[in-house]
Structure formats: C-alpha cells, structure tokens
Structure 1
Amino acid sequence: MLDKREFYINGKWVKPAKANDFEVINPATEEPFAVISLGGQADTDAAVAAARNAFTTWSVTSKQTRIDLLQSIYDEYKRRADDMAEAISNEMGAPITLSQTQQFTTGISHIKKFIKALQEFEFEHPIDGHPTEMILHEPIGVCGLITPWNWPMNQICLKVIPAIAVGSTTILKPSEVSPLSAHVFSEIMDTAGCPAGVYNYLNGDGVGVGTQLSSHKDVDMISFTGSTRAGTAITKAAADTVKRVTLELGGKGANVVYADADENAVKRGTQHVFNNTGQSCNAPTRMLVERSIYDNAVEIAAETAKNHPVGNPAEEGPHMGPLVSEAQFNKVQGLIEVGIKEGARLVAGGLGRPEGINKGFFARPTVFADVDNSMQIAQEEIFGPVMVMIPFDDEEQAMQIANDTPYGLTNYVQTQDPEKAKRAARAMRSGMIRMNGDGGAAASPFGGYKQSGNGREGGKWGLEDFLEVKHVTGWNA
C-alpha cells in the first residue's frame, strides 16, 4: 500500500501534527491501495502561516519571475505525465486512456494558457481619458483552494496556477477521495523550484481542514469547486471574516436538440453524458428534443447507451470506468430508483452493475425518456451516467424548460439555423453555451449562474479572480 501521509508545507515534506490515517480506495476493485493522513487545526495553521509569511516577498516579485516559475512547472508537469495519469486512474476510476488524453491534458493546457494570459496581463494602467488616475491590480493574499475528485488536475491547475501567477500564495486541500494526483502535483511544484510557502498542500475532509481554511482569519480568499451544498457551507463559514469566496458548483445542463440538428447530435450528446462516468458538472444530462424527432431521438439515445462499453480502468480503450466511491454509487442507484418510481420510461440501463461485472462501483449507462422537468431526476444533479429526455413543441417552451432549474452552468444547443442558435444562447440562463459540439478553448471563462456558483476560471478571467483592484488618483508619470 502506498504511504502518502506527508504534507507539503513551507517548502518541505512534513508529517502531520497528529496521525489521522485515511485509506484511499480503488473504485474498480473496492480495495484500499494507499493511505493518507487527514490534517487538523495545527496543520492548517502551519500552512496558513507559511503562506502568509511568503506573501510578503512573493507579492512583489516581477511578472517575469512568475512567468519563469510557471514555465518550470509546465516542463516538470509534462515530464510526470505517466505518473499523473496512473494516479488519477487509480484514485477515481478514470480509464487510463481518458486519464492520459483528458484528465492529465486539461492540466497542462491550463498551465500553458495561463502563461500566455500572464504575459499579456497589465497590472497597472490608467483610466481612459484620465492619465493621473491609475488602476493597480494587486494579489489578494493567502488563498485556500479546495478541489474536487472528479477532474482533479483540471481544478487544481485552474486554481493554483493563476493564484501564484498574480503573486498570491496558496494552500491546496484536494478531495480526500482522490488525493494521490495532488501529491504528484506537489512533487512537481517542489521540483520546479516553487519558493517556500508560496504553495502548500495538506489533506483533510470538508468538516475539518475545509472549514478551518474557510473560517481562518489569515486566509484572504477561498476558491472552491464541488457540490452546491458544500459551497453554501463554505460561504457561511467564510462570512465572519468577510473573505472573498469564489464557487464552481453543480449543474443540470439542458441539451436542446431542434428538428434541424445534425444527424450525430443525439448520439454525441448521449456519449457526452457518459464521459468520465457522468461525473462532470457541465454534462448535458437533460436532453430536450423537438417533438417531431423525439421518438427517433429516444431510439438513438437508448441504442447508444446500450452499446456504450464499461470496463476495467486499468485497460486502454474508450470504455466507461466506475463511479468514484461507494457513496457515489449508492447515490446514483438511489436516483435511478427514484426515476423509475416517478414514472419516467427507462429505455436503457437501470439499477445494478453492468452485465458481467460483479465488483467495483460500476453503474449502467442509463437513459430515461418521457421525463417531466418537475421530476426529481430532472431537477437534481445525479453526477453519474444518467440522462433524461424531455420533449418540447417550440422554441419558447424549450427555453422555459431549459431555464427551469436551480442551476446555470452549461447549456447546449443543436441546430443548423444560426439565428435560432443565437436566440437560444441569449435566452438560456447559464455561464456557458455550447453549440453543435463545439467544446470551447482552454483559455475561456468557466463558471455559472444561480446555484452553479460565481466567479470565472480560466484565461485572464482566472487571473482576475485572485486580484484586488486599487484606484489611485494624482498619479504623475
């Protein structure tokens, strides 16, 4: 069993102040394969103190110094590709091919784009027409970064890299369910020459280290990605110290398929739901289909689900792996059962593991048809390989159904009519709209409306999240 109980604090690997072992489970085998330690208040205080001390010097370094560090991180991250992909596959069940081609590469893409964004970013500039009034963009300070288990490197790189890029200092708390990739990332940061205290890493759960960081008086900002429920708790914990809180939370994306959609739209959308075993907040899990093509769309979606392969994440291929944990498996099974009881028509998948699999947290690719948008399975984020299908009659009804959700992260539009697509994009209340299979660039802003959170990650918007704006008058050149 791998022993990964140390934390990375103030430039050194250190033992926890008090032992609190936690086993990491391989979701494909249901067996522990590593042990970490969950931190306590003393560990949190040590990490925050290191970050606070480092901020004094790191916040005034030159842009070039920070660009050079990011380039060093980028080079080392590329070198550790195999280690990172293996860690992610083992800890959260992503098939190794997906780990190599998507999970690992999201991180390297973000690092590369942040280097470019930093090179172009102006930290000091006058207000237009007022040359003696200067805007200064300054690092916010000590940042607590709390990341999820589903896309570990995507989220770690979207938080750590822009924070240190602008001169802030960081404490990373990854999910205790998938901590091994964060451990590899911390080794990368150490080897890349990150100055002591600029980056710190400790494990812990939400009730412990997560709450300690959120309420800590010496933490200036919390950036959190995870469930809406946890985001609400973090916001409340941070309120007493009035720190900035940015949240990237859940989603229940509508995929609006018009009658004039391209012939691959339904299959493409269904396969998208099953990517990463449905464990993506931006998955298009509600497929809204124009009634004239609805019956055919249901047949295509059902056939796609029935033929979608599921298998061992250690083996190469395009198959779907297990859900991340027993708790997630039980949640998904429970909501599939709810859908059946609600009267939705089960056209593919359903309860239990796929045929021929008797171990591991594997779920069946599942499609429900004839769903009413008021049903629980249409309103609640299932976070598994489950898609619901809802018919609509016209554009107005499609937009009403799409927006009838507490979430507003990503919505999708499938039509060959450019004007219809633009009308939909303007009408849908979400932070991101994806048209006709176009996934977007790494430097684009990622974030949502309503209970999907606030703030934006990626590109220049990701840098701005970690900056304060200062207005100075009487500035003479």
Structure 2
Amino acid sequence: APVNAMILAEIIHEAGLPPGVFNLVNGMGPVVGEVLATHPEVDMVSFTGSTRAGKRVSELASQSVKRVALELGGKSASVILDDADMEAAVRGTISACMLNSGQTCSAHTRMLVPAGRYDEVKALARAAIAKFSVGPSLEETSKLGPLVSANQRDRVLGFIRTGIEEGADVIAGGDQPPAFEKGYFVQPTILGIKATDTLAQEEIFGPVLVVIPYKDEEEAVAIANSTIYGLGGGVWSGSDEHAMKVARRIRTGQVDINGGPFNANAPFGGYKQSGNGREAGVYGFEEFLEIKSLQLKPVAAA
C-alpha cells in the first residue's frame, strides 16, 4: 500500500517543507531497503515489517554501526481471567484479532481461557465470529476483506491445515476459502489448540485466532510469555487492578486492560524478537535524537 505514503509526500510538499528535508523512495526491500540500511550517510534506520526482514536490516546496519529501531512481528496473547466478563472479553479479543483481516502485527491472535470454561468460550466465540461477514472491502456489508496477496492467502490456509493436522478443535471457519470472483479470502477461523502447537508459536498474519486453555494464572502468564515475540496483548478481569497485576508479568510492549483502546501518544514497540526501540509519543521522537554533552571549563572564583 504505497499510495498513502505518496499522498503524505504531496501534503508535505504543499505545506512548504524545504526540499530534501523529507524524501520518499519506493522500491522493494532487497533493492532499496538494503541500500538505505548500508549507506554510510544514513545515520539511523527505523523499520517496520517481519522479524525475518528486521534481522536482515540489523545485520546490514551493523556494518556501519548505525542505530536501528525495529517494529516487527507478534503473537500477542489475550489473557481472559476467570473473574472477567466472559462475553465482553471473547468479543473484544476476536475484534482485536480480526482487524485488517488479521493482517496486524499487534493482533491478539492467542486467546488464553480458564480450562473449566472452555466450552462456554467456544459458544461465545461462535456467536461473535458469526457477525464478521466476509466480502469485498468496498461493500458496506463486509466486515472482513481479502488478504494482501495469493501467496499470503495460501500461507494462511497452510497454517490452518497444519493446525487441523495437529489435532486442533475447529471452533469456527476452516481451510476452505470463500468463493469470490476477485480477491484472496480466508474464512475467519478459530481453533482450539495446545500451547506447544505450531499455531501457538508462529505468526500467521491472517484471520485466525487460537484458543488455549490454562489451569491457573501462573500457567496463563507462562503461556503468554512462551513465544519469541512480545509486541502486544490484553488482560481481561472483573477489576482493572487484578488485570494490571497480571499484565505487569507479561513480557510485551503494551497490554490492553479490559479492552482499553490504542493510545497514539503512548510508546509502541516490542520485547524480544518483536523488535527494539519505540514509536509514537515522546519516546518515538527520542529514538531519532543523539545526545551531545558540552564540557565547559569552570570559571575561577574571584
């Protein structure tokens, strides 16, 4: 989706920013991206994309010891505690997973639920996901549009099939794509799995939510922290205080408490292989600053 960047460039030009202060260069990562990451006159690279590509950017940038900020992949957990409003928590988690047809790095793609309430969660999830109508993006009745490409559609379907082969409980959806004349569609899919299954560890980047039962809060926190990622997440509880107590134990860059909305003034970024550095807010600006100290000779006393 490069067009939005082109529109931004037009706005900046019309606003009168001096030539050269902002430059837009379109191109593929292995061509344009690698030049920017290695060029000696580039002092810093801020990259948003996959963890695999982020590792490559870091590798190239290290050759000139330039600073790097990375906003990469995620496998964010929505931890639903036993005292939560279960219907609101399930509905909110599904919405946080399916945004942009699941093509969001911070999507809540793992829903952790008390084992004793698994059947209740399944029924609530089926009812909630039924409202996510699939169709072309410009149709008013569509709530879930297509994926970005045929390759991505096939990749997501491959993950769903892997989950089924590993014994997943198919709560909703499946590996049969909806039939539309144009577009690369995947059914919104919910699978019940184990914390050690492939789909509990790999970023799928599509409309796929996995439900993982846990026996107590200790196990819930352990499962939430059991991936290489740490970008987003959520905790649902009957009280904000209880939710925040659990949230502080989850190694992730941001945690939504009881469905708290995204705050554009708060620092955004991840732990572990979800990246380093922060975007947005004051911390986002500070990523682009260098600190300089001026040492002055003390003035002699009169």
TM-score range, shorter chain: over 0.9
Aligned partners of 1:350 and 1:318: how far apart in 2?
19
* Backbone CA RMSD of aligned residues: 1.6
- What is the match of residue 128 of structure 2? 304
Distance 1:351 1:358, change over 3 A: farther
User: Aligned with 2:79: secondary structure?
Assistant: strand
Distance 1:276 1:208, change over 3 A: same
Q: What displacement does 1:413 show?
A: 0.2
* Pairs within 5 Å for 1:294-373: 294-317=118-141, 319-354=143-178, 356-369=179-192, 371-373=193-195
- What is the match of residue 257 of structure 1? 80
User: Aligned with 2:211: secondary structure?
Assistant: strand
Q: What displacement does 1:243 show?
A: 0.3
Aligned partners of 1:438 and 1:357: how far apart in 2?
35
User: Aligned with 1:299: secondary structure?
Assistant: helix
Q: What displacement does 1:317 show?
A: 4.9
- What is the match of residue 236 of structure 1? 59
User: Aligned with 2:41: secondary structure?
Assistant: coil
Does structure 2 conserve the Cα–Cα contact (< 8 Å) formed by 1:339 and 1:376?
Answer: yes
Residue from 443, 450, 453 that aligns with 2:272: 450
Distance 1:191 1:401, change over 3 A: same
Residue from 240, 245, 267 that aligns with 2:91: 267
- Tell me the TM-score normalized by structure 2: 0.95
User: Is residue 217 of structure 2 the alignment partner of residue 386 of structure 1?
Assistant: no
- What is the match of residue 399 of structure 1? 221
User: Is residue 288 of structure 2 the alignment partner of residue 466 of structure 1?
Assistant: yes
Q: Could you tell which deviates more after superposition, 379-388 or 266-275?
A: 266-275
Does structure 2 conserve the Cα–Cα contact (< 8 Å) formed by 1:251 and 1:410?
Answer: yes
User: Aligned with 1:247: secondary structure?
Assistant: strand
Distance 1:417 1:240, change over 3 A: same
Aligned partners of 1:194 and 1:316: how far apart in 2?
38
- Tell me the TM-score normalized by structure 1: 0.61
Identity of aligned residues (%): 47
Does structure 1 conserve the Cα–Cα contact (< 8 Å) formed by 2:81 and 2:113?
Answer: yes
Q: What displacement does 1:377 show?
A: 0.7
User: Is residue 282 of structure 2 the alignment partner of residue 425 of structure 1?
Assistant: no
Aligned residue pairs total 298
Deviations 1:203-247 (A, max 9, x none): 111110011110111110000000000000011011110000100
Does structure 1 conserve the Cα–Cα contact (< 8 Å) formed by 2:147 and 2:184?
Answer: yes
Matched residue type, 1:223:
S
- What is the match of residue 413 of structure 1? 235
Does structure 2 conserve the Cα–Cα contact (< 8 Å) formed by 1:305 and 1:349?
Answer: no
- What is the match of residue 376 of structure 1? 198
- What is the match of residue 40 of structure 2? 217
Does structure 2 conserve the Cα–Cα contact (< 8 Å) formed by 1:306 and 1:349?
Answer: no
Aligned partners of 1:318 and 1:296: how far apart in 2?
27
- What is the match of residue 50 of structure 2? 227
User: Aligned with 2:255: secondary structure?
Assistant: strand
Aligned partners of 1:182 and 1:320: how far apart in 2?
24
Q: What displacement does 1:318 show?
A: 5.7
Deviations 1:147-203 (A, max 9, x none): xxxxxxxxxxxxxxxxxxxxxxxxxxxxxxx21111111111111111110111111
Matched residue type, 1:334:
G
- What is the match of residue 153 of structure 1? none
User: Aligned with 2:293: secondary structure?
Assistant: strand
Q: What displacement does 1:475 show?
A: 7.6
User: Aligned with 1:427: secondary structure?
Assistant: coil
Q: What displacement does 1:329 show?
A: 1.0
Gaps of 5+ in 2: none
User: Aligned with 1:295: secondary structure?
Assistant: helix
Does structure 2 conserve the Cα–Cα contact (< 8 Å) formed by 1:406 and 1:451?
Answer: yes
* Pairs within 5 Å for 1:25-44: none
Distance 1:195 1:475, change over 3 A: farther
- What is the match of residue 282 of structure 1? 106
Does structure 2 conserve the Cα–Cα contact (< 8 Å) formed by 1:447 and 1:457?
Answer: yes
Does structure 1 conserve the Cα–Cα contact (< 8 Å) formed by 2:136 and 2:142?
Answer: no
Aligned partners of 1:446 and 1:185: how far apart in 2?
21
User: Aligned with 2:290: secondary structure?
Assistant: strand
Distance 1:475 1:224, change over 3 A: farther
Does structure 2 conserve the Cα–Cα contact (< 8 Å) formed by 1:443 and 1:458?
Answer: yes
Task: Please identify runs of 4+ aligned residues in structure 1 that moved more than 3 A.
Answer: none
Relative to its length, the structure with more strand (as a share) is: 1
Q: What displacement does 1:425 show?
A: 1.4
- What is the match of residue 145 of structure 1? none
Q: What displacement does 1:472 show?
A: 2.2
Q: What displacement does 1:344 show?
A: 0.8
Gaps of 5+ in 1: 1-177
